[in-house]
Homo-oligomer: A and B are copies of this chain.
């Protein structure tokens, strides 16, 4: 982003060079849906390749490809059916719909800005709409109130937002009409799986659930050893209420998520030492609350001081930092901000976001959350399938435990059709009554609430082996000790069983993609302003431009030959033999961010030499075709830098046309 960054110019470049464009253009597009064109698709695919190398390959993560269609039950259990929602309000006259918190934010921000202009004597001319008024100056008190609300906006629920809308007389911005009360809108896309209409499903809102539900298979694939991580790259969906801000808020997006499964009693990381000296900018929750700034320090210090909770979380923060800067995100526009308690997702117990500064502000691009054992626990409870790690104990534990044991042959006939009410009475004595054990689990294997059991035992003893209980149907039933026994069992425990915790680095690829473009964009000064996208070679959509000095038939076989040679090295290239001047062609391909350019001229046909141009400096050198192809290969692979090329070649200045 240059000093005089102009987003409109950048956006028109991105459209013109087809990095991305609104989907279904001929049909007028759909808000929040974008297609990636050849340049954008290659850039995204290079980012993902490096991601895979950096995370999956480097750490032997277990990559998955799970379905996006997800049945209702799974997302009900995970909490998304109930909690993955935003508040919306409706313009009561024209029906336009707004996300409630965004409406409040935009209106109050606008009022503060208008007030600034008014007080500086630059108030805008009278508005156009009949409902627009010339702004009146705001009192210091009102300003303070607005600023406080904006700071705390995440803390308001539906009723709270209704209150703000009423209190500050917030109307729909364009039309000026009153808006309705807040209603919750679930952000998942719903559909029906199969022809019966009986199986409701959603498009996944995150790739994580598929990874959790495969935990057992993954652990087995990893021959039972912990810790380990799974990973998944794929699309997720979010039915945004009214998407704006280009690629930053879309309805269908690529995510790359890692679920690192770890022993809750040991969150150290065996490779932490390799990253402990990496320096990042941190913005902890306490600093945000106290209005203090950021802290720059090493990961080692951040973990040691307790600011970052544990080594594994710290390790991933460092690895995220290394990944982002490797692909071209600027160090000075990258910080790690800790979530405050009120903004944490329903499943997270701690979370640090990698935020990248772009023209929209500091944008959350990677979340690094400690989801604790939340997901595995709720799925285990719901399905009864054990999602646990079993670890041989160095020494067995021997202990006594009280259990209820129901004698089915006596119990069933005694209560006949009411047996379910009596059974429910005893199920309520389980340590966790919400767990559904598989039918084959014996009573003695279940975990019971010892306090409740002992109470029942006392009652039974007081009645000499018989007592009355009141069940949920309101009736009394008589229980005798031959139906239900309270027994002490002696257990020898050889295995420690635990539900692992999950550390989840979760990457929003589209947001990283867009930020990277902004960070790479600048305008060359000169006779005419020419835009350049200075992508690092490793992510550049196309690595090498091939262009003849002029449009002559004799260059065609040589171009083809060089293209074949580059392809053999898997170097993507683009031939531009259009009739534009060579300068215009360089400019056009600088807009695609192509780092290197090979140019053929008439000298080429005589001695088989070509020039090699570097995008950012526009400097050129000259050498034989084979040497130049070899140089490009080394440059693209990062085995050499441009300055190394210059060390062995003198700069070439004028092309023989």
- Chain A residues in contact with chain B, CB under 8 A? 17-18, 21, 23-27, 30-31, 33-42, 44-45, 53, 57-58, 60, 62-71, 73-74, 88, 95, 97, 185, 189-196, 199, 201, 203, 210, 213-214, 216-218, 220-221, 223, 230, 235, 237, 239-242, 251-252, 254, 379-380, 383, 385, 387, 567, 570, 572, 574-576, 578
Contact = CB atoms under 8 A, between A and B. Distances in A.
A542 B508 CA distance: 28
Given A71-B27, A383-B26, A65 B36 contact: yes
Given A23-B213, A36-B65, A193-B239, 14 more contacts: A21-B217, A26-B383, A26-B387, A30-B201, A35-B210, A37-B64, A65-B254, A69-B189, A69-B252, A95-B196, A189-B193, A190-B192, A223-B578, A235-B235
A214 B73 CA distance: 38
Nearest to A199: B30
Contacts of A195: 88, 97, 185, 239, 241-242
A431 B237 CA distance: 43
A442 to B, nearest CB: 21
A34 B67 contact: yes
Contact of A193 (B17, B30, B74): B30
Contact of A74 (B27, B71, B185): B27
B189 A37 contact: no
A189 to B, nearest CB: 5
B193 A191 contact: no
Contacts of A240: 194
Contacts of A35: 64-67, 210, 214
A252 B218 contact: no
A580 to B, nearest CB: 9
Nearest to A98: B195
Contact of A38 (B23, B38, B221, B241): B221
Contacts of A217: 18, 21, 25, 37
Contact of A383 (B27, B41, B221): B27
Contacts of A17: 221
Instruction: With a 10 A CB-CB cut-off, give which of A62, A194, A218 has the most chain B CB atoms.
Output: A194
Contact of A252 (B23, B67, B383, B387): B67
Contacts of A39: 221
B237 A69 contact: yes
A385 B26 contact: yes
A73 B26 CA distance: 11
A240 B69 CA distance: 13
B26 A210 contact: no
B25 A213 contact: yes
14 contacts: A23-B210, A25-B217, A26-B216, A26-B379, A26-B380, A35-B210, A36-B65, A37-B221, A38-B218, A39-B221, A41-B64, A69-B251, A194-B239, A235-B235
Contacts of A191: 189-191, 203
Nearest to A223: B578
A40 B65 contact: yes
B57 A27 contact: no
A220 B15 CA distance: 11
B572 A57 contact: yes
A237 B235 CA distance: 14
B26 A38 contact: no
A44 B383 CA distance: 30
